[in-house]
Amino acid sequence: MPMDQLIIIIVVAAVVLLVGVGAAFLLRGRKTPPGTYTSTRDSDDPPLISKPGSAQGSVDTLERPGAPGSTDTITDDGTELVDDLGGKVDLDVERPAPVLGRLARLRERLARSNNALGKGLLALLSQDKIDDDVWDEIEETLLLADLGTEPTLELVDNLKRRVKVEGSRDPEQVRRMLKEELLALVDPTMDRSLADDRHDGRPSIMMVVGVNGVGKTTTIGKVARVLVAEDKDVLLGAADTFRAAAAEQLATWGARVGVPTVKSDIDGADPASVAYEAVKAGIDQEVDVVMIDTAGRLQNKVGLMDELGKIKRVVEKLAEVDEVLLVLDATTGQNGLNQAKVFSEVVKVTGIVLTKLDGTAKGGIVVAIQRQLGVPVKLVGLGEGPDDLAPFDAQGFVDALID
């Protein structure tokens, strides 16, 4: 080959390399943008593009939203799965609000809707004489706040005893007693941390379950934002294929913070298949957390059981499910408790997300739900805003109720 041709080839190669490096640099958003690992983390890592023809279908590269050359299509027995942004360049991803102190920031909102409980109790307990009628009223107030019968009786018994022993009507002392007793019921010793760290060389897998309308999709979007704010790489799997709009909604939440979504554009696609492909993509792309949305049609318990059981079984061919979050709407009271019971019979729930706590004076549901399932409330939804979700903290919650 003549020398001048060789020089041209070298110059062209150098320019291509420079443009490539420049583009990669410009596209860098967070610590490790999802799907754009320039090298594998471990020596035995699979290549970023998996080979077609696996039993469950094949996955093309699921690039970070906006990365050049993004190929969306995932075929699965004729099902087309796509990533959320269809290769659109979107450098304007939002920065979610920091997570620390969220409960405090949102405390006012929580207190506004729930302070009837705290104020009512304090007023009753500060009376000069607490007779049986007053104790009955206290009991009723607690029951109306959805605390549940057993915890209510427990709290009233303990307060009765302490009021007798300490014999004080001093509002400060009464407030302190009430807070201590409520805190004991909410149980500050429960482990409320989310399983959101990579481990054993694979992502943490979270399944999110709950009936439609409780705020499940919104919650996944908000949790993804919490994780992004904590500098985690997240991938969403839209395995709620019952309603196509739900997948779209989820993908939009993800796209806002640069998180990719594996979804199917076909109504009624096999949810287990979508979940499998999402986990597979999450493993290949070495993300920290894969969050899987699921449908929850309670009118048919057997169907629900089959569907959730299948999703879990299929996903666990690739990786164990680390967290099953049950989303419940705090405003639904006893109905929420019934849902919790059904879901916990179907899957092993590891944490509860209580939504719409901003819209109810029935904050006591936190205690009732935890008692019924023996599982901690890990997150609470406190509004419709994208960052209105806070890690649940027993002390912060009780302070918000009583102060």
Ligand X SMILES: Nc1nc2c(ncn2[C@@H]2O[C@H](COP(=O)(O)OP(=O)(O)OP(=O)(O)O)[C@@H](O)[C@H]2O)c(=O)[nH]1
Contact positions vs ligand X (CB under 6 A): 210, 212-218, 240, 243, 246, 355-356, 358-359, 381-384, 388
Determine if residue 295 is labeled as part of a ligand binding site: yes
| Helix, strand, coil share of the chain (percent; to 5) | 45, 15, 40
Query: How many whole angstroms separate alpha carbon 230 and alpha carbon 38?
Result: 22
Q: Which is nearer to ligand X, 139 or 248 (CB)?
A: 248
Determine if residue 217 is labeled as part of a ligand binding site: yes
User: For ligand X, which residue has the nearest CB?
Assistant: 381
Q: CB of residue 386 vs ligand X: minimum separation in angstroms?
A: 10
Q: Which is nearer to ligand X, 57 or 392 (CB)?
A: 392
> Cα angle at 73 between 68 and 79, to 5 degrees?
165
Q: Which is nearer to ligand X, 194 or 246 (CB)?
A: 246
Q: CB of residue 269 vs ligand X: minimum separation in angstroms?
A: 16
Determine if residue 216 is labeled as part of a ligand binding site: yes
Determine if residue 355 is labeled as part of a ligand binding site: yes
Query: Cβ distance 177 to 264 under 8 Å?
Result: no
Q: CB of residue 159 vs ligand X: minimum separation in angstroms?
A: 31
Q: CB of residue 380 vs ligand X: minimum separation in angstroms?
A: 7
Continuous segment of H or E residues that includes residue 303: helix 301-315
- Ordered DSSP codes for 169-213: --HHHHHHHHHHHHHHHH-TTS------S-BTTB-EEEEEE--TT
Q: CB of residue 220 vs ligand X: minimum separation in angstroms?
A: 8
Residues in the chain: 403
Continuous segment of H or E residues that includes residue 14: helix 3-27
Q: Which is nearer to ligand X, 29 or 254 (CB)?
A: 254
How many Cβ atoms sit within 10 Å of the Cβ of residue 117? Answer: 22
Determine if residue 358 is labeled as part of a ligand binding site: yes
Q: CB of residue 179 vs ligand X: minimum separation in angstroms?
A: 24
Q: Which is nearer to ligand X, 60 or 240 (CB)?
A: 240
- Ordered DSSP codes for 326-364: EEEEGGGTHHHHHHHHHHHHHS---EEEEE-GGG-S-TT
Determine if residue 75 is labeled as part of a ligand binding site: no
The 3-class secondary structure across 255-267, one letter per residue, is HHCCCCEEEECCC
Determine if residue 297 is labeled as part of a ligand binding site: yes
Q: Which is nearer to ligand X, 176 or 243 (CB)?
A: 243
Which residues are part of a known binding site for GTP? Answer: 210-217, 293-297, 355-358
Which residues are part of a known binding site? Answer: 210-217, 293-297, 355-358
